[in-house]
Amino acid sequence: MESNEKIYYDTNEVAEMVGCEASALRFWEKKFPQLNPKRDSRNRRRYTERDIEVIRKIMHQKDKQGRTIKGAREQLRRKEESQLLIQRLLRVRKFLTDIQEKL
């Protein structure tokens, strides 16, 4: 990571980065459980790179694929489940290859 990269971004910075309104970010936070920015001591939202990636996925689902909020939320949930399944399968595969090597 470069030294000038930030760890946390505020709402206005993220809105400018992704090209949407700050109010949309606050709205999506309520509608998408995947989007859960941390709060600082003054209760201001602090977005990470992961949060920004989720926002970009939401925007892609809505703008490019024409999904509703409900449809975008369901699609993101399915993708997360698929990624978890792939990770589990890769662990099982590694476990089995380790066993095979020991035999």
Residue 1 pLDDT: 44
- CA–CA gap between residue 89 and residue 80 (Å, rounded): 14
C-beta separation of 20 from 56 below 8 A: no
Residue among 4, 19, 26 nearest 63 (CA)? 19
- CA–CA gap between residue 20 and residue 100 (Å, rounded): 52
Q: Is 65 exposed, middle or buried (0-12, 13-18, 19+ CB in 10 A)?
A: exposed
Residue 3 pLDDT: 45
CATH code: domain 11-76 is 1.10.1660.10
Query: For residue 4, what pLDDT band results from cuts at 50, 70 and 90?
Result: low
